[in-house]
Structure 1
Amino acid sequence: MLNEVVNEFRYTFSVVPAPAALARLLAAIILAGMIGLERERREKPAGLRTHILVSVAACLFVILGLELAAMDFGGTSEQRNDPLRMIEAVTAGVAFLAAGLIFTSDGKVRNITTGTSLWLAGAIGLGCGAGQMPLAAMTTIIVLFVLTLLRLLERKLGWSERED
């Protein structure tokens, strides 16, 4: 019985081996978690869990897309693989979530930076799912730089009253 379960797990992955899929999902968790922690620290409405979930979902969509593209659907003429459609679907879904965070109060736009960081968490998840963890890690570093060091610069310039 246990051998059947192990074999099922081993052979259900055709394009992305299980250890690689796990590494990609873990990278999505870690990288988006770093951004989510920064947002959590600033007490924003989308924090650690939300950023991780968006990134993991995007990563999973890419892995599933790769797996589905490798399946036999009765001939190559009947199968259309378009990775851009997968990216568009993920970004549209995340943009919908991010837009829900952004609101106007007293004539000021609020949470636009958090909405944008959530959108970036989706992009990081897409990168991890595509096996581009170095690119996703570089992007995470840039995002954290923007969210932390540029905040200090804004304070020095007297822009600290801006909402993010």
Structure 2
Amino acid sequence: MDVILIKLGISALLGLIIGLERELKRKPVGLKTSLVISISSCLLTIVSIESAQAFSEISGRTQMDPMRLAAQIVSGIGFLGAGVILRRSNDVISGLTTAAMIWGASGLGIAVGAGFYLEAGAGALMMLISVELIPMLMKRLGPKALSEKEVRVRLHVADDADMTAIVKSIKEKEVKIYNVRVKDLESASSKMELMLGVYEKRYTTDVYYEIKSIPGVQKVEIETL
């Protein structure tokens, strides 16, 4: 019984670490969810192993795979992870990292439940390094594109304005244009939607003021993704 409590305690600690990282980033799956996933995965793994041993001792002939139940946990967690993956407008997908962290939390619980404490601890550490430290290093030392953030801009431009000239002016503001969408409005204006790549440390408000100052631009709406 003491060993089981130790396993559950270690599993809760690792789940707490993973959940805290998500919670600090204000992601949909946070502290409580990660704790429940890690602890329950650990518990089900312990039950699976203990049941296999108990039934084998009773009958003397029964052969069971002690990790059979744990294998179903991995599949089941996939449905939970799918719930946090969202498809936003303009085909932007979000929530993939959170879904992967959910799956990872269940893996940590299974590892602890099976008695692989060192491996579980190393796995949790490597997961945190993967989502925190490595992206930071890649933004500083890697290709320039990794240090960019995506910004969606919606513009209302006058009918007599040259939209090609507006696009060229935006390009001169040290941004990359990934996508352009133009729509006619009932009023005497048109609507442009642009997906921009902007240096991560650059203030979104600076981009707003620079675009708003372009001749022909009537209204500006900007959003950082």
**TM-score normalised by L of structure 1:** 0.80
Q: Distance in 2 between matches of 1:140 and 1:57?
A: 17
- 2:94 matches 1:110: yes
- Residue 63 of structure 1 aligns to which amino acid in structure 2? I
After TM superposition, give the deviation of residue 154 of structure 1 in Å. Answer: 4.7
- Inter-CA distance 67–155: structure 2 relative to 1 (3 Å threshold): same
> Which residue is equivalent to 1:148?
132
Whole-Å separation in 2 of the counterparts to 1:59 and 1:45: 23
Are 1:97 and 2:80 matched, yes or no?
Answer: yes
Instruction: Specify the alignment match of 2:202 in structure 1.
Output: none
SS of aligned partner of 2:83: helix
Per-residue deviation, 1:87: 2.6
- Higher strand fraction (1 or 2): 2
Q: How does 1:73-92 map to 2 (within 5 A)?
A: 75-77=59-61, 79-92=62-75
Q: Secondary structure at the match of 1:109?
A: strand
CA distance in 1, matches of 2:117, 2:149: 33
TM (norm. structure 2) is 0.60
Structure 2: 5+ residue stretches without partners: 141-145, 152-225
Conservation of the 8 A alpha-carbon contact between 1:151 and 1:160: no
Equivalent AA in structure 2 for residue 140 of structure 1: A
Higher mean Cα deviation, 68-77 or 28-37? 68-77
Corresponding position of 2:38 = 55
Q: Does 1:41 align with 2:24?
A: yes
Q: Does 1:21 align with 2:10?
A: no
The code of the aligned residue for 2:119 comes to L
Residue 70 (str. 1) matches residue 53 (str. 2): yes
Unpaired runs of 5+ residues, structure 1, are: 1-17
CA distance in 1, matches of 2:71, 2:52: 16
Query: What is the CA distance between 1:160 and its match in structure 2?
Result: 4.4
| 1:161 Cα deviation from its structure 2 partner | 4.2
Computed over aligned residues only, the root mean square deviation of the Cα atoms, in angstroms, reads 1.9
**How much does 1:29 deviate?**
0.5
CA distance in 2, matches of 1:80, 1:97: 31
Higher helix share: 1
2:175 paired residue number: none
* Kept after mapping to 2: 8 A contact 1:154/1:160: no
Pick which of 81-90 and 153-162 moved more.
153-162
Higher-Rg structure is: 2
**8 Å Cα contact 2:48-2:70 kept in structure 1:** no
Q: Quote the offset at 1:152 in angstroms.
A: 1.4
State the alpha-carbon separation in 1 of the partners of residues 47 and 23 from structure 2: 30
Equivalents in 1 of 2:123, 2:55: separation in Å? Answer: 35
Report the equivalent of 2:103. Answer: 119
